[in-house]
Amino acid sequence: MDEDLARPKKKAYEIGEDLSMLSVEELKERIGTLKAEIERLEASIRGKEASRNAADSVFKS
């Protein structure tokens, strides 16, 4: 069990990774994973911008 904790997990995808050994289905799966991650990142940005805008409006009043 301790061995599992010490071993770093392999990333599902690494930018710049060789794609030649992946099937079309694997490539489509990765695209889906990356699109979901982009959406998650954009949602985080929207939340942070909303927080900053709310704080700015309090201090500008």
3-state secondary structure (DSSP) of residue 15: coil
Q: Which two tokens stand for residue 29?
A: 């799966």
R_g over Cα of the chain = 19
Helix (H) or strand (E) holding 48, with range, is helix 24-60
pTM of the entire structure?
0.66
More confident residue, 31 or 59: 31
Whether residue 37 has pLDDT greater than 70:
yes
Whether residue 58 has pLDDT greater than 60:
yes
